[in-house]
Structure 1
Amino acid sequence: MSTRYFSLVLGIVFLLVGIAGFIPGLMHMPEQAADVEVTENFGRLFGLFPVNALHNIVHIIFGIWGIAAYRSYAGARGYSRAVAVIYAVLAVMGFIPGLNTTFGLIPLYGNDIWLHAVIAIAAAYFGFAVKDTEVSRSNTATTTTHRI
């Protein structure tokens, strides 16, 4: 898979997950909202991943960004690198009390920790390790010059 297609696929997944977080049938609603002060739409997506309305919006933003980044190799590589760094930081934040809820705004604990770490590793691979070769159309076109 190329870096551009990784950006597209991850963007689509983020967008779908962000939308899924707003669908009540896909959420398991706990009795109380734990340590999170933003309780709008708080629950566990698919019964596993703690999310709230802000968390879902962040997923949608990352989804739109990934889909837009697909348009160019440089954009996709930049997106992958940014996702790698941001999601690595989010994974670490999930272990730190106070930061694991982003100061009460967005839950980052539980199954989110390992998922954020996996996303960071995959994005780091495509952002830093993969060296896609992008061939421009002008380089592949052959031109013929005729002399009179």
Structure 2
Amino acid sequence: MVTRSHSGNVASARHLVQTTALAVAIVFLLVGVLGFIPGVTTDYDSMTFAGHHSDAKLLGVFEVSVLHNIVHLLFGAAGLAMARTVSGARLYLVGGGAVYLVLWLYGMVVGQDTAANFVPLNPADDWLHLFLGLGMIALGLLTTRRSVARR
């Protein structure tokens, strides 16, 4: 997307999908950081590196571990990098949304007290992953709808 300034100079502007991907990435970074803050994360002293034995809960609702928080930070960092281009931002939102839908399915199938629940996940996480996956895919598609239609 290109816009003209008042002086007539051509300046590049951020495409809506890039701004959206950047906002989502910042939220992931924020969630990753908040997961390491006692008080914001309840039962912080019970947090484990990985596995379903962690009783720490972000905002008292979403089960987290050190690994879970690191994944949020990495996912946010990936979003910052991918938001630099329209195609990267769209891929981040649509591809990331698909990953979260797979994670939702994984959470629905895997028992909460099994070794396979290594992230860890609880029912609140599972439903958040469903809505997050659907939302990210919708944002990726809707914010690039006009761009794709023009091509």
Instruction: Give your verdict on TM over 0.5.
Output: yes
Q: How does 1:36-115 map to 2 (within 5 A)?
A: 37=51, 42-98=55-111, 103-115=116-128
Larger-Rg structure: 1
Mapped partners of 2:19, 2:138: distance in 1? 13
TM-score after normalising by structure 2: 0.74
Instruction: Spell out, residue by residue over 1:74-115, the C-alpha distance to the aligned partner (whole angstroms, 9 max, x if none).
Output: 110111121111000111111113488771421122211111
> Is residue 52–residue 113 contact of structure 2 (8 Å, CA) maintained in 1?
no
Q: Which residue of 2 aligns with 1:146?
A: none
Mapped partners of 2:113, 2:90: distance in 1? 28
The 4+ residue runs of structure 1 with deviation greater than 3 A are 30-33, 36-40, 98-102
**CA offset at residue 64 of structure 1?**
0.5
Mapped partners of 1:115, 1:103: distance in 2? 19
> Is residue 94–residue 100 contact of structure 1 (8 Å, CA) maintained in 2?
no
Q: Which residue of 1 aligns with 2:38?
A: 24
Secondary structure (helix, strand or coil) at the match of 1:105 reads: coil
Give the 3 Å change call, closer, same or farther, for CA 16–32 of structure 1 in structure 2: closer
Shifted more, 97-106 versus 17-26: the winner is 97-106
Mapped partners of 2:117, 2:42: distance in 1? 20
Q: Which runs of 5+ in 1 are unaligned?
A: 135-148
Mapped partners of 1:32, 1:22: distance in 2? 12
TM-score after normalising by structure 1: 0.76
Percent identity, aligned pairs only? 34
Q: How many residues are paired up?
A: 131
Mapped partners of 2:35, 2:142: distance in 1? 32
Give the 3 Å change call, closer, same or farther, for CA 64–102 of structure 1 in structure 2: farther
Q: Which residue of 2 aligns with 1:7?
A: 21
RMSD over aligned CA atoms reads 2.8
> Is residue 41–residue 60 contact of structure 2 (8 Å, CA) maintained in 1?
yes
Secondary structure (helix, strand or coil) at the match of 2:57 reads: strand
